[in-house]
Amino acid sequence: MNPAQEHRRVASTFTDRARGAVDWDAPAPVEGWAARDVVRHLVTWFPEFLKVGADIELPVGPSVDEDPVAAWQVHADGVQAVLDDPATAERTFSHPHIGELPLAQAIDQFYTGDVFMHTWDLARATGQDETLDPDKCQAMLEGMEPMEELIRSSGQYGPRVEVPEGSDAQTRLLGFIGRDPLG
């Protein structure tokens, strides 16, 4: 699957969870966050990342406090438009800490994976289906484990939560990123 297709698939699942949310103030699995903060995180960090690294400005929707679903939808549609734009294939993302990457690869690597993992957070917070694609869970885990020291030092992930031996890929991925999938 190319980055545009993968984003469409991952964002669609997140959109379903956002549309299914009833209590936006329900606590999320990230300490100190409510369900709306999961959306807030995604719609606030990535626009600046994209602006600095590729000089692209995403459309801005309503605030997450006013309408979290609409805020997410405007944001996700904007990211999808960038990925669907044929000119994106020629664009480069450049960041002092990351170096240079093809733009679509940077979006896929840093953003779409984040949406994928936060889908679980939103689902858990709002009492919805928490199931994530097991193949993507396994691939992400295999890609992240060799960089564990770097990932932990970034401050973006909590300490690993131990899970039972033989756990499925989703449970292991969630434990790896610092979530308690069994609690």
User: For residue 155, is pLDDT > 80?
Assistant: no
Predicted confidence at residue 10, as pLDDT, reads: 98
Domain ranges of the chain: 3-130, 132-183
- The helix/strand/coil state of 138 is helix
pTM: 0.93
Mean pLDDT, residues 153-175 taken together: 89
- Per-residue pLDDT band for 98 (boundaries 50, 70, 90) equals confident
Mean pLDDT, residues 87-94 taken together: 93
Distance CA 29, CA 21 (A): 15
Mean pLDDT, residues 15-40 taken together: 97
- Per-residue pLDDT band for 154 (boundaries 50, 70, 90) equals confident
- Per-residue pLDDT band for 94 (boundaries 50, 70, 90) equals very high
- Per-residue pLDDT band for 111 (boundaries 50, 70, 90) equals very high
Beta bridge partners of 93: 101
Q: Return the DSSP state at 156.
A: S
* Homologous superfamily of the 3-130 domain (CATH): dinb family like domain (1.20.120.450)
Predicted confidence at residue 152, as pLDDT, reads: 79
Mean pLDDT, residues 93-98 taken together: 86
Residue 173 to residues 103, 123, 125, Cα–Cα distance (Å): 26, 16, 18
Predicted confidence at residue 183, as pLDDT, reads: 79
pLDDT > 90: percent of the chain: 83
Sequence-distant (6+) residues with CB within 8 A of 179 are: 29, 120, 121, 158, 161
Mean pLDDT, residues 65-73 taken together: 98
